[in-house]
Structure 1
């Protein structure tokens, strides 16, 4: 749990500019015959095989109204003796948590509760949860909450099973060491209370790295929950703004994964399938889940904006979140998510309406959505047919649109959609100005795990332009 060395903090900011730009280290397509790489003192073989495969992985999912009451039976079926239930201070007082604890008691399951999860978790809040877990022990984890809670439980589970690990060991490179997870973790059951992150299906845990003032995460299939219990009753009490922000996360999980670089253009094949990343690029299976989630969200989210108690729309959104989680959990996301991390991480004063937080917060879905009009205007020249297909789902007539205009058409559709949901008018609403753009760019550049899946590789100048065009979006 060591602090980041100062030398690491400074070197990260210049990492991308100093990185080798040979095809072996680029996120796009590579050829089978590569020149030698002379970056550093290493040389690479003259022939590297392109990626040729993708791997579909997801948690088991159980869906239905009231299905939360089965979790105690699940714990009993697993012969669990020492359960830790993770939740946040708000959810701890609401129906979803009561349903879980009642079910555990009814089935005579011994459990303890960690209710200090931080909304939009940080490295320090992760470490607090890890310490609690190491002190109490667990043979089953249950996460009751949004993506923050599920991600916190994933991190606690990981480091509980690796008691001697340094915190940076598993954090995504280049911020951390990006080490592989070589063992099966303790079972985790995820019970989402928001229709957004899809974290119940994925092997990703995201957090604010306070010392670096950016977001990063841990990503590995081994983190996936054993089971996701998706119960529409658990999102009934969410405030309108929470539902909108969470729904926007679903929306851009879908769009980004569908427009990401294809899996067979991502780079070289791994030497061992264990090294194939969770985020692999767009592929034929993830496309199906992402497009279905997109269509559901485009219909349901405006209905929730009009009536946040619309039960049909809520049920559709929590199902769409799971669908999108399966899609992006295997394909990945790209620029909107990569750029969202410094938008959230550098925020020093903005607190979004209806978020009962004791710290500044730009909700994740809002921070993802805010750059989208500019992002898809930028990426639209690559795979324009896919951009036009997304625009068509939003309602655009695209039969006579030139492929060269695909990005602009999709950008306009997204802008209208966001405006009708009443989201803030650009990153300037969070207090950012032109002078903050260099810091926002620096916070985005190390997000290799996602930005290298962009259909067009974005350098510092490109990111500056996108942020500049996102100061105001309406």
Structure 2
């Protein structure tokens, strides 16, 4: 198996994406958005007319068990599965805390053999994924248990995948165009995910995100086959998290909800796949995901300010971890778009910023913060498409929408998001991370290959649009 990064191939693909004009993700109802840039508009229309548009969406999620103290049952789950080679994944901080101790006590009480991998990296990289893969291959496994935030759960997903495909190159399953984005046809080893943050919803999804260090950008792997067998959602597991970690995680929930609800509809995403196995995990907004996303949005807007006011508000914490799961089911099938796509280079190109209360040995812009920081600019930009949905979101944030004109919807929503973020003490734009206007080209270049998410945006977004969005995100308040 080769792990050597194909940097030249990636760079070439990144250049190609900047000039691409025929994107299947928008060939449903908005093909005309691409025609001015095409060499032959007639050929594009002809090509599009020959392809059957997407007509279906597919819902997939992990089984979810929710309740205070439910972590204690994981040993029984492992025993019921007949597991003999359990690998418990966690990070160095969680390894010292009660959620991890509860898992170990439960395994031992039920006589289940286990080994621990406790060096998961916060905001994992391709290297940290590969370290976890190597550990898995050396030890063998018949059950994964991931105890931690999205970084831990995503790392376990990657270890599971490549352990099942020992001959695969690392880029085989990484999202195109950075990797090959190959389909996963095997049934993977069971994974039980036990989140300790109320944020990523990774316990419900088939997505694993990492920093690709050679090109200084985040990307990931997305396939339903990666989703955990079971998510154990226990409010007790987030009780001790510092307030800044709770807030950052909650912002991820918030924009999972908003982005999935405003994503391009599933039947406008592009052509139907030749085989249902090829239907992407992120399919566009759809009637079922909409229900979960709207509910998670309302719960987060109500609960996150309460946690800011009182980090030990257990009722609000319980609502937030449930909201994270709701949002995970929603965006795990609908997808996210520009805020997430733009967040990846914001994190990947970090010049040295370390967010308060994050006990790590490397610079870190928390994922939820990197997502939220562009939201005011993004939703002002996207409001021209599906304005009713954007207006509904503004109302959820507390805006008086009784006399809002269509042309003003974007600004109304943008202002409410800014107010919400300011009250949570979120840094004042990407300039707070050390970015200046001279960094915009690199940030745009890092966003362009994020097709998995950016092509779900309701508005076709070119390089100049992204540049303007980054510029408008330099300062928020």
Normalising by the smaller structure, the TM-score range is over 0.9
Superposition deviation, residue 48 in structure 1 = 1.1
Structure 1 position 81, deviation (Å): 0.6
Find the aligned partners of 1:93 and 1:244 in 2 and give their Cα distance.
22
Counterpart of 2:204 in structure 1 is 201
1:22 aligns with 2:25: no
Instruction: Name the residue aligned to 1:426.
Output: 429
Distance 1:244 1:61 in 2: 23
Q: Classify the secondary structure of the residue corresponding to 1:356.
A: coil
Out of 86, 89, 97, the position equivalent to 1:86 is 89
5 Å-filtered alignment, 1:124-135, equals: 124-135=127-138
The CA distance in 2 between the partners of 1:187 and 1:37, in whole Å, is: 48
Shift of 1:312: 0.3
Aligned-partner Cα distance in 1 for 2:252–2:211: 17
Aligned to 1:2: 3
Contact 2:25–2:455 (Cα < 8 Å) also in 1: no
Distance verdict in 2 for CA 1:438–1:45, change over 3 Å: closer
Residues 63 and 44 of structure 1: is their aligned pair in 2 closer, same or farther, counting only changes over 3 Å? same
Q: Is the 8 A contact 2:28 2:53 kept in 1?
A: no
Tell me the secondary structure at the aligned position of residue 175 of structure 2.
coil
Q: Per-residue deviation at 1:47?
A: 1.4
Instruction: Report the counterpart of residue 158 of structure 2 in structure 1.
Output: 155
Assess if the C-alpha contact under 8 Å between 1:259 and 1:383 holds in 2. yes
Which runs of 5 or more residues in structure 2 are unaligned?
none
CA-based RMSD of the aligned residues comes to: 1.9
- Does the aligned pair in 2 maintain the 1:286–1:331 contact within 8 Å? yes
Q: 1:203 to 1:37 in 2, by over 3 A?
A: farther
Residue-by-residue CA offset, 1:142-189 (whole Å, 9 max, x unaligned): 000000000000000000000111000000000000000001000000
The alpha carbon displacement at 1:119 in A equals 0.2
Q: Give how far 1:17 is off.
A: 2.3
- 5 Å-filtered alignment, 1:19-418, equals 19=20, 21-22=21-22, 24=24, 26=26, 29=29, 44=47, 46-418=49-421
Please point out which of 418, 440, 445 is paired with 1:442.
Answer: 445
Number of matched residues?
471
Return the alpha-carbon distance in structure 2 between the equivalents of residues 210 and 65 of structure 1: 38
Post-superposition shift, 1:460? 0.4
Given that residues 88 and 117 in structure 1 are in contact (C-alpha distance below 8 angstroms), is that contact kept between their aligned partners in structure 2?
yes
TM-score normalized by the length of structure 1: 0.96
Task: Measure how far apart 1:14 and its partner are.
Answer: 1.1
Q: CA deviation at 1:2?
A: 2.8
Is contact 2:25-2:456 (8 Å) kept? no
Structure 2: how far apart are the matches of 1:325 and 1:389?
20
Q: Take 1:9 and 1:50, find their aligned partners in 2: how far apart are those partners?
A: 29
| Structure 1 portions without partners, runs of 5+ | none
- 1:30 positional shift: 5.5
Q: Secondary structure at the match of 2:215?
A: coil
**Contact 1:85/1:112 (<8 A) preserved:** yes
